[in-house]
């Protein structure tokens, strides 16, 4: 019993660590490709007269896209395990096939979107296609491989009743959602709009006016990856890692209580605690950094200074 | 319905695409029945061809639906198509030889109900909503049946819930090693759902052209077919799975090349390692 519990906690910690890596890689990948909500500004820029050299990877929202990559990776791994291939090898083959599909989707999205903007004189830069696609594929491989390995741990070590591909789908969607919600604001609001005043938001007049030139030369999507891998990636990793860790931790520890309801109650308690923490951080951040409350009084002073 | 369907200039009318899609898909899926008649698994790849036809048709349906200003709803349209299609597909697989035909009828009924609910009850008021949701439900169901029959070699429900595993050298039939028991159907769901929405989502913009979008649809279809062919190694003989992989690969390479050519044709310029050319500064 105790040994089972210790094994369960160990697997939980390992799965949480894998998820942290997955979250960090996923967010960096989507930022390099300009997927998710920052994509709308990249798409809009040429229409407002701002020709750019940023990748435009409009596959779909990140949750469905990562739902597919991880489900596909897990599905191929499941199929190869069914014909008795070694589990680790099967996971690698699965992630490789999924990354191939991801890379192809990335190229067709860039070519399609850019060719459809011919009216606004936005050319297709095929060097972007060659240099950036491979970098997003590498990050996607890390994200997919860690996620499906985590799913395999749940099935093989914790005895999860779902088959591997279904877990891949569920956790892939969760991974995409975590990266999209946590990491993208760093790219969309901080990196694309560095020329705007901090906290100014994106007024209509600034729509599409994204940063296109770098400190030296022209900004490439790889610079965006470099920028967001500093804070946005780790923040997404922490988010997804905590989700996976708490999800497994509450199940491993509290499932024996109250006929399984113990885990449900523990989950509700964890959510409530996080709601309190979130609320506290939000109010603290707004009073410390936010211009919202003092905007009316402070604005004329700032204009003169 | 007498709604004017918007197509790009010089394009093929949507009705013709629908006719080609439904006939091509049904014929190809029925060709997998040759497996049963000849007692082999070699004809399984026809299921994938059927799914490619369905994806090709579904892309134009999504385009018609989303030309009513549903920009961010493009991926959602793919999801509802496969989500409603899976119900029709599972029900139809119980019909034996009549499964593909029965699937179209069941999916059409289901699609009309869903279309009515979203158009009239939820008051979305999009003129083509009922027709396009009906089409998309049929498309989703055909994609699932096509890929499922490609993976298992049959479109019968019993073959989708039984798989064989080798247990100490003895082959045992189990539910957990089957297409549905192993949730490979969930992977097919996502492969179809993303493939059907991606072409229009990727090519949308003022210079969207129909032949390029439709070529992208065929490319996405063959790409999904490659993935299904890889997974079919778990269910089919090695030769049948290899043949499926080969057909999918040839189809994908051809359509991908054509798509790049069409993108080059439509692009404003095709540059390699060149700086930004500002539109007002000359260019």
Q: List, for residues A72-97, the tens digit of each pLDDT value.
A: 999 999 999 998 899 999 999 999 99
Give the pLDDT confidence score for residue A292 in this predicted structure.
54
Tell me the C-alpha distance between A115 and A134, whole Å.
Answer: 21
pLDDT at residue B8 is higher than 60: no
The CA distance from B28 to the nearest CA of chain A, in Å, is 24
Give the pLDDT confidence score for residue A170 in this predicted structure.
96
Give the pLDDT confidence score for residue A305 in this predicted structure.
36
Lowest mean pLDDT among A51-60, B46-55, B60-69: B60-69
Burial of A88 (0-12, 13-18, 19+ CB in 10 A): exposed
Residue numbers in B near A114 (CB within 8 A):
263, 267
Q: Where are the domains of chain A?
A: 2-254, 257-297
Instruction: Kindly report, residue by residue over A208-230, the tens digit of the pLDDT.
Output: 888 899 888 898 889 888 989 99
Give the pLDDT confidence score for residue A287 in this predicted structure.
83
For A125, phi then psi, to 5°, come to -100, 105
Lowest mean pLDDT among A134-138, A267-271, B206-210, B253-257: B206-210
Give the pLDDT confidence score for residue A151 in this predicted structure.
95
Residue numbers in B near A65 (CB within 8 A):
194
Q: Does B131 touch chain A (CB under 8 A)?
A: no
Dihedral sign for Cα B156, B161, B166, B172, please. Answer: negative
Tell me the C-alpha distance between A226 and A147, whole Å.
Answer: 22
Instruction: Kindly report, residue by residue over B103-149, the tens digit of the pLDDT.
Output: 999 999 999 999 999 888 888 777 888 999 999 999 999 999 999 99
Which of B85, B75, B93 has its CA nearest to residue B51? B85
Residue numbers in B near A101 (CB within 8 A):
223-224, 226-227
Taking only residues 254 to 273 of chain A, the set having a beta carbon closer than 8 angstroms to any beta carbon of chain B reads none
A294 within 8 A of A287, measured Cβ to Cβ? no
Give the pLDDT confidence score for residue A191 in this predicted structure.
84
Instruction: Tell me the average pLDDT across B163-167.
Output: 74
Give the pLDDT confidence score for residue B9 in this predicted structure.
56
Give the pLDDT confidence score for residue A60 in this predicted structure.
85
Average pLDDT, chain B: 88
Residue numbers in A near B219 (CB within 8 A):
104, 108
Q: A290: pLDDT confidence band, cut at 50, 70 and 90?
A: low
pLDDT at residue B73 is higher than 60: yes
In terms of CA atoms, which chain B residue is nearest residue A129?
Answer: B272
- Record: contact B206-A113, CB cut-off 8 A: no
Average pLDDT, chain A: 88
Instruction: Give residues with Cβ within 8 angstroms of A23, minimum separation 6.
Output: A143, A175, A178, A179, A182, A183, A233, A236, A237, A238, A239, A240, A241
pLDDT at residue B48 is higher than 50: yes
Give the pLDDT confidence score for residue B280 in this predicted structure.
62
A144 within 8 A of A18, measured Cβ to Cβ? no
Tell me the C-alpha distance between A141 and A124, whole Å.
Answer: 26
The CA distance from A299 to the nearest CA of chain B, in Å, is 34
Residue numbers in B near A64 (CB within 8 A):
75, 79, 190, 193-194
pLDDT at residue B102 is higher than 60: yes
Give the pLDDT confidence score for residue B4 in this predicted structure.
38
Lowest mean pLDDT among A258-262, B185-189, B191-195, B209-213: A258-262
Tell me the C-alpha distance between A199 and A193, whole Å.
Answer: 10
pLDDT at residue B5 is higher than 50: no
For A3, phi then psi, to 5°, come to -60, -40
Who has greater pLDDT, A285 or B109? B109
- Record: contact A80-B201, CB cut-off 8 A: no
Please report which residue ranges of chain B form alpha helices under DSSP H.
14-31, 34-38, 45-66, 74-92, 99-116, 129-152, 157-161, 184-203, 210-231, 238-266
Could you give the percent of chain B with pLDDT greater than 70? 93
pLDDT at residue A302 is higher than 80: no
Q: Does A118 touch chain B (CB under 8 A)?
A: yes
Give the pLDDT confidence score for residue A291 in this predicted structure.
61
Who has greater pLDDT, B195 or B126? B195
Who has greater pLDDT, A260 or A236? A236
Could you give the percent of chain A with pLDDT greater than 90? 57
Tell me the C-alpha distance between A214 and A282, whole Å.
Answer: 32
Task: Report the residue of A68, A85, A211 to disrupt the B interface, i.e. the one with the largest count of B CBs within 10 Å.
Answer: A68
Q: A3: pLDDT confidence band, cut at 50, 70 and 90?
A: confident
Taking only residues 64 to 123 of chain B, the set having a beta carbon closer than 8 angstroms to any beta carbon of chain A reads 74-75, 78-79
Which of A13, A243, A237 has its CA nearest to residue A142? A237
Which of B129, B151, B149, B148 has its CA nearest to residue B80? B129
B231 within 8 A of B257, measured Cβ to Cβ? no
Instruction: Kindly report, residue by residue over A16-38, the tens digit of the pLDDT.
Output: 999 999 999 999 999 998 888 88
Q: Does A200 touch chain B (CB under 8 A)?
A: no
Give the pLDDT confidence score for residue A303 in this predicted structure.
40
A50 within 8 A of A117, measured Cβ to Cβ? no
H or E segment and range at residue A124: strand A124-125
The CA distance from A74 to the nearest CA of chain B, in Å, is 9
pLDDT at residue B2 is higher than 50: no
Could you give the percent of chain A with pLDDT greater than 70? 93
Q: Where are the domains of chain B?
A: 14-149+162-266
B263 within 8 A of A124, measured Cβ to Cβ? yes
pLDDT at residue B169 is higher than 90: no
pLDDT at residue B166 is higher than 80: no
pLDDT at residue B177 is higher than 70: yes
């Amino acid at each position: 019993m105790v040994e089972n519990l210790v094994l369960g906690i160990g697997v939980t910690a390992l799965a949480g660590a894998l998820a942290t890596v997955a979250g960090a890689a996923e967010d960096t990948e989507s930022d390099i490709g300009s997927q998710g909500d920052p994509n709308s500004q990249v798409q809009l820029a040429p229409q407002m007269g701002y020709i750019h050299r940023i990748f435009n990877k409009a596959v779909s929202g990140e949750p469905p896209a990562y739902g597919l990559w991880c489900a596909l990776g897990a599905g191929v791994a499941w199929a190869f395990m069914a014909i008795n291939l070694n589990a680790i090898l099967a996971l690698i083959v699965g992630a490789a096939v999924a990354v191939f599909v991801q890379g192809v989707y990335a190229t067709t999205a860039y070519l399609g979107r850019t060719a459809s903007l011919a009216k606004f004189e936005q050319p297709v830069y095929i060097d972007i296609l060659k240099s950036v696609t491979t970098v997003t594929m590498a990050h996607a491989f890390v994200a997919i491989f860690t996620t499906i390995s985590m799913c395999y741990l749940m099935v093989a070590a914790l005895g999860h009743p779902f088959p591997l591909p279904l877990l891949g789908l569920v956790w892939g969607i969760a991974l995409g959602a975590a990266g999209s919600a946590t990491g993208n604001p760093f790219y969309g609001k901080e990196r694309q709009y560095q020329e705007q005043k901090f906290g100014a938001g994106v007024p209509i007049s600034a729509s599409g006016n994204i940063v296109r030139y770098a400190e030296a030369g022209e900004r490439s999507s790889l610079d965006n990856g470099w920028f967001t891998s500093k804070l946005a990636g780790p923040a997404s990793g922490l988010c997804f890692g905590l989700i996976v860790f708490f999800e497994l931790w509450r199940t491993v520890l509290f499932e024996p209580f109250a006929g399984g309801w113990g885990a449900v109650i523990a989950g509700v308690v964890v959510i409530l605690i996080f709601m309190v923490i979130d609320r506290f951080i939000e109010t603290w951040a707004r009073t410390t950094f936010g211009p919202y409350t003092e905007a009316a009084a402070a604005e004329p002073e700032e204009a003169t200074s | 319905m007498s709604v004017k369907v918007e197509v790009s200039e010089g394009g093929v009318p949507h009705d013709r695409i629908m006719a080609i899609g439904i006939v091509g898909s049904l014929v190809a899926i029925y060709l997998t029945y040759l497996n049963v008649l000849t007692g082999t698994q070699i004809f399984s790849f026809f299921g994938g061809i059927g799914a490619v036809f369905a994806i090709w048709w579904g892309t134009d349906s999504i385009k018609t639906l989303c030309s009513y200003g549903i920009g961010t709803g493009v991926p959602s349209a793919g999801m509802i198509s496969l989500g409603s299609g899976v119900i029709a597909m599972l029900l139809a697989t119980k019909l034996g030889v009549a499964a593909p035909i029965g699937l179209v009828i069941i999916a059409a009924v289901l699609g009309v109900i869903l279309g009515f609910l979203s158009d009239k009850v939820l008051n979305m008021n999009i003129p083509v909503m009922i027709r396009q949701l009906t089409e998309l439900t049929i498309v989703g169901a055909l994609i699932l049946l096509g890929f499922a029959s490609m993976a298992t070699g049959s479109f019968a429900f019993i073959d989708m819930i039984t798989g064989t595993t080798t247990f100490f050298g003895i082959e045992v039939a189990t539910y957990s090693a089957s297409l549905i028991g192993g949730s490979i159907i969930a992977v097919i769901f996502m492969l179809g759902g993303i493939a059907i929405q991606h072409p229009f989502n990727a090519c949308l913009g003022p210079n969207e052209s129909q032949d390029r979008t439709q070529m992208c649809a065929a490319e996405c279809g063959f790409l999904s077919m490659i993935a299904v062919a890889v997974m079919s190694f778990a269910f089919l003989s090695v030769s049948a799975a290899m043949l499926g992989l080969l057909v999918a690969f040839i189809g994908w390479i051809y359509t991908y090349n054509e798509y790049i050519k069409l993108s080059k044709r439509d692009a404003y310029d095709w540059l390699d390692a060149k700086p930004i050319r500002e539109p007002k500064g000359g260019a």
